[in-house]
């Protein structure tokens, strides 16, 4: 095997190993960060109760969802279909 080919293969092996290690560190760091955030800031779940006797269930669900997402600060002014 020629010296240039051997040097090229060594360089490729070292480069691919470094890339693999960096990607492994990114994934491991992301997983650790997700676990820390989920431990100290758990997701708040809230149940939405909608009366089924009203004929406007979709509107009630949308209003309730906006109320929960915006912590009571949001207001539904209108609903229109986007095409």
Where is pLDDT greater, at 13 or 77? 13
- What are 10-67's pLDDT values in tens digits? 999 999 999 999 999 999 999 999 999 988 887 766 665 655 555 567 788 888 888 8
Of the candidates 70, 45, 83, the residue with the CA atom closest to the CA atom of residue 62: 70
Where is pLDDT greater, at 69 or 20? 20
pLDDT, residue 15, reads 97
Q: How far is the C-alpha of 8 from the C-alpha of 6, rounded, in Å?
A: 5
């Amino acid at each position: 095997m020629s010296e240039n080919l051997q040097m090229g293969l060594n360089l490729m092996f070292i480069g691919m190993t470094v890339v693999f290690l960096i990607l492994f560190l990114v994934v491991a760091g992301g997983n650790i960060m997700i676990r820390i955030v989920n431990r100290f800031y758990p997701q708040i779940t809230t149940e939405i109760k909608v009366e089924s006797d009203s004929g406007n269930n979709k509107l009630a669900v949308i209003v309730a969802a906006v109320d929960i997402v915006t912590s009571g600060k949001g207001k539904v002014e209108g609903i229109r279909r986007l095409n």
